[in-house]
Amino acid sequence: MALLENIIIHGSLYAVIVNLYLFALMVTVSPRIWAYADYPKSITDRVPPQTSREKKIGGVIMIPFFILVLGLPVLSTIMLEASYGGVIPLLDAFLNIYGILLFGNISEVLIIDLLIVGTITPSFVVIPGTEDLRDTEYKAFRLHHAKAHIRAIVAMAIVSLVLAGILVMV
């Protein structure tokens, strides 16, 4: 399978899986656990800080997420390497991992952040005690969080290069 085809197919699957996982969390777990650190200060200043229990639950919930986030691009790259006959150039490994991560990042910005949180703003994304901010600060979240995703693009490049280097050396 060619590199671009691999990125498109696996990136699309990755985006669906990551967004479904995040959406399931959003619907079933309090936003005080999954969103507190992501929301702007104008929202979090209105409610008590996260409790240590909420932070612990958030950490546990994120373990499978980070396994998905890093594991699926690595698995895809291993599969791509096999299609190359067992040897993959560093650039191809990097581009594959980074391309897949970009699919997830862009889809999360568009679907989760802009559409669900910033436009529709259902009650399950609103931290209790901030309901009056639904039509103001939660809408402003779109720009606030988009900036975080832009910064994440740099971090994803670094992580992708490290993972690609490990995969090429192993």
Instruction: Place 149 in a pLDDT band, splitting at 50, 70 and 90.
Output: confident
Torsion sign over Cα 55, 59, 65, 66? positive
How confident is the model at residue 39, as a pLDDT?
87
Three-state SS across 19-60? HHHHHHHHHHCCHHHHCCCCCCHHHHCCCCCCCHHHHHHHHH
Burial bucket for residue 79 (CB in 10 Å: 0-12, 13-18, 19+): middle
| Confidence tier at 1 by pLDDT (50, 70, 90) | low
- Over residues 64-97, the pLDDT tens digits come to 999 999 999 999 999 999 999 999 999 999 999 9
Helices 52-83, 3-28: inter-axial angle, 10-degree rounding = 160
User: What angle, rounded to 10 degrees, do the helices at 90-107 and 3-28 form?
Assistant: 40
Question: 62-71, 121-130, 136-145: which has the minimum mean pLDDT?
Answer: 136-145
Q: How far apart are CA 23 and CA 76, in angstroms?
A: 23
What's the whole-model pTM score? 0.91
